[in-house]
Amino acid sequence: MSTTDNAVEFHSLAAGTSGTVMSTGDALTPSPPGAGSFDAIAVRAREALPAETVVIVADGHSAAPRLPADVWGLQVIAADTAIDGGQLALFAALPLAAQPDARVHDGDIVVRLRHGATAPADSPTFTDVDVLIAREDQWALAGTWTGMDAEWPQRIAATVTRLMVCDTSPVIKSPAPAAANGRFGALRELVAAGKLRDGEKLVCARPGTGVRYEAHVIDGGLQLPDGRWFARPSGALTALGYRHQNGWHYWCRARDGVPLSEIRQAPPPRFPYRREPHLLGMVSDGTLRAGDELRFAQPRKGIVHTAQVLTDGQLRLDDGSCHPSPAAAVAAASHGSVTEGWRTWRRVRDNRTLAELRDEHRNRAALSHAQQPPESPTSDGASQELLS
């Protein structure tokens, strides 16, 4: 399939796709004479790019970086266009040794280079370029450009940046009604796995300025202090004035500075019962009861907010809106001024915070896990191998 800058057509690719082979660097030609050069190390430092990033275009100049052998593709980290003229000012990517699981690369864009099938046999300077995007747990082919020369980054830039801009939708004004509409962001699985906490603070620094931005994890997305909610990290970056950067590599967990890109690759916690619990689980084991009334006060404003625990684990506010997590409920009730829900909501009948009740739920689950008898060997010897 071929594409132009005016249309993007998606085709699903199987997880084991191997029909294209990444170039090992010989298909990347040097910049034309007079095109200029740049210091890749300085560019990485200036733009806060990971150390292993391959910088292909910087400040309008193209380079011919040496890529490791057997590279599957290039994960796009930045594809910035200049404000004046819209020319490609920065194109940087991370080399991927093998095709990664699309489920942990949601929204990521990958460029794959192949020796041009239509190029002369004695000319390695022409390249076919495939652009892929991870969507709905699979890699989808967004476009193919055939017979490209060293200017291929400029040729595909319009499509790549348009795909990155698509990451900004939907944008929801405060109070975030994502849960009420059944919508959740790309961070939801990280929260469920215990890698992030609901209501947790994220930070990112604007390269070269020292300016820091904050967001909170709400409904599996990112909510900015002004109440806008984004399903994916890149969308929140674009809203803050970044042009076309991969937000997974810029947003970091505030408590330890670890980027989201590393958090999503980390293995889950060892014990399932230590994952961030859902209220439904707490209702199921009796830690909470359906009908329990919760309360939190904003003394300076003279406001007391209440919520009721429902049988499905949601929290219903006074205005009738329902929310699946303490952070979502407290953010909606306070119009975004409060985001930490577990330590803010208190159960009226005993004045215990949801955080205290959560710890009781975890201890109960841990005790149940510890009391489970070990699996006994079966007659067919299936368990014997496990025991050995």
Q: Is 120 strand, coil or helix?
A: coil
pLDDT (0 to 100) of residue 279: 85
Residue 28 tokens, joined: 């990347």
pLDDT value at position 285?
84
Q: What is the mean pLDDT of residues 280-288?
A: 86
Work out the average pLDDT over 238-263: 86
User: What pLDDT does 309 receive?
Assistant: 93
User: CA–CA separation, 3 vs 107, rounded Å?
Assistant: 20
Residues paired with residue 358 on neighbouring β-strands, in sequence order: none
Give residue 66's pLDDT.
66
Question: 182 pLDDT band (50/70/90 cuts)?
Answer: very low
pLDDT at 273 over 50: no
- Contact between 313 and 283 (Cβ < 8 Å): yes
Residues of the chain above pLDDT 70, percent: 71
**Token pair 């050995």: residue:** 388
pLDDT tens across 318-365, in order? 999 988 888 888 888 888 778 788 888 999 999 999 988 888 887 777
Which tokens in the block code for residue 280? 């439904």
Q: What is the pLDDT of residue 370?
A: 58
Which of the four pLDDT bands, split at 50, 70 and 90, describes residue 175?
Answer: very low
Structure tokens of 214?
């904050």
pLDDT at position 241 over 70:
yes
Looking at residue 125, what is its pLDDT? 59
- What CA–CA distance (Å, rounded) separates 272 from 194? 9
Q: What is the pLDDT of residues 17-74, one digit of tens each?
A: 434 333 333 333 333 434 457 888 888 888 878 888 889 888 878 876 666 667 889 9
**CB of 179 closer than 8 Å to CB of 324:** yes
Q: Tell me, what's the pLDDT at 89?
A: 84
Q: What is the pLDDT of residue 185?
A: 78
State the pLDDT at residue 245.
Answer: 79
For the ranges 50-59, 103-112, 163-172, which has the lowest average pLDDT?
163-172
Identify the weakest region by mean pLDDT among 112-126, 179-193, 256-270. Answer: 112-126
- pLDDT value, residue 103: 79
Q: Please provide the average confidence, as pLDDT, over all residues in the chain.
A: 75
The whole-number pLDDT of residue 269 equals 54
> Structure pTM?
0.57
Tell which wins on pLDDT, 173 or 152.
Answer: 152
- Separation of alpha carbons 174 and 120, rounded Å: 57
Q: Are 133 and 107 in contact (CB under 8 A)?
A: yes
Point out the least confidently predicted range of 10-14, 227-231, 259-263, 302-306: 10-14
How far is CA 273 from each of CA 228, 232, 269, 329, rounded to the nearest angstrom? 32, 27, 9, 24
pLDDT at 268: 59
Sheet with 346-347, edge to edge strand ranges: 322-323, 315-317, 303-309, 293-298, 346-347
Q: Residue type for 154, please? A: Q
Q: 85 CB contacts (<8 Å, ≥6 apart)?
A: none
* Lowest-pLDDT range of 86-90, 297-301, 308-312: 86-90
Structure confidence at residue 372 (pLDDT): 59
pLDDT of residue 31: 39
Distance CA 16, CA 28 (A): 26
Q: Which residue has the higher pLDDT, 168 or 326?
A: 326
Higher pLDDT, 382 or 162: 162
Q: Is 286 exposed, middle or buried (0-12, 13-18, 19+ CB in 10 A)?
A: exposed
Per-residue DSSP letters for 148-182? E-TTHHHHHHHHHHHHHHGGG--EEPSS--TTTTT
Residue with the bigger pLDDT between 265 and 244: it is: 265
